[in-house]
Amino acid sequence: MSIYENVQKIKEQLTDQIIIAATKYVGVNEMQDLLTSGINHFGENRVQSFVEKKAILTDDRIVWHFIGSLQTNKVKKIINDIEYLHSLDRIHLAEAIQLYRKTPLKCFIEVHIGQEETKQGLSIEEVAHFIQELQKYDKIEVVGLMGMASHTTNQEVIYQDFMKLNQLMTFLKQQNYPNMTNHYLSMGMSDDYLIALQAGATHLRLGRILFRNEE
């Protein structure tokens, strides 16, 4: 199957959710194919490949997301060239964004919902306070939450992980934070996006499933 066919198959399962292509696996040619297949949201993980690809892909339909973890000392290199950041999870990073970004940046707060130990993402309990702290940074606009489910084949566990993000969002909505302008849920990857859809995902970050090449 081609990228075009992969995209069509996935789109049949969606209503109005946005597919962000996780493009770390591919080069600019495949990204050009994505664009002609109707995918214009691209998510990169690494600063260097983002810079290289963005220099080549100048089509103004492209909406650039940064979905990987972002080191504070690399913020300057990309921060004015992305439209969304999916991995805001610490005040130090917010400070660096405040310093270098020229206009408010749409940020998803990364939340740790899976079972695995990881340094990335806030715990669920920390998120409300974090959003309040972010009010002092006028270059940060909170638009949603991002999370990754546990690495398991147990569908119920994955669903419950995603529902944690959904329920947290229900709570946050009620707080009416002035710096939270949208309530998007960035969750679901190639192996679990159907579960993420059931749990209310608004943005899917899809990689391998877009690029696979089978009968």
Ligand X SMILES: *Cc1c(COP(=O)(O)O)cnc(C)c1O
Residues that bind ligand X (CB under 6 A): 22, 24, 45, 67-68, 189-191, 205-209
- Interacting residues of 25 by C-beta distance below 8 A, sequence separation 6+: 207, 208, 211
Chain center to CA of 114: 16
Q: Among residues 20 and 75, whose Cβ is nearest to ligand X? A: 20
Q: Among residues 85 and 174, whose Cβ is nearest to ligand X? A: 85
Contact 37/3 with Cβ under 8 angstroms?
yes
Q: Among residues 116 and 138, whose Cβ is nearest to ligand X? A: 116
For 144, half-sphere exposure in the C-beta direction (CA atoms, 13 angstrom radius) is 18
What minimum distance in Å lies between the beta carbon of 76 and ligand X?
21
Q: Which residue is nearest to ligand X (CB)?
A: 207
Q: Among residues 128 and 209, whose Cβ is nearest to ligand X? A: 209
Residue by residue, DSSP assigns 157-214 as HHHHHHHHHHHHHHHHHHHT-TTEEEEEEE---TTTHHHHHHTT-SEEEE-HHHH---
What minimum distance in Å lies between the beta carbon of 44 and ligand X?
9
Contact 104/137 with Cβ under 8 angstroms?
no
Q: Among residues 24 and 90, whose Cβ is nearest to ligand X? A: 24
d(CA 99, CA 188): 31
What minimum distance in Å lies between the beta carbon of 87 and ligand X?
7
What minimum distance in Å lies between the beta carbon of 21 and ligand X?
9
What minimum distance in Å lies between the beta carbon of 141 and ligand X?
20
In terms of Cβ atoms closer than 10 Å to its own Cβ (0-12, 13-18, 19+), residue 109 is buried
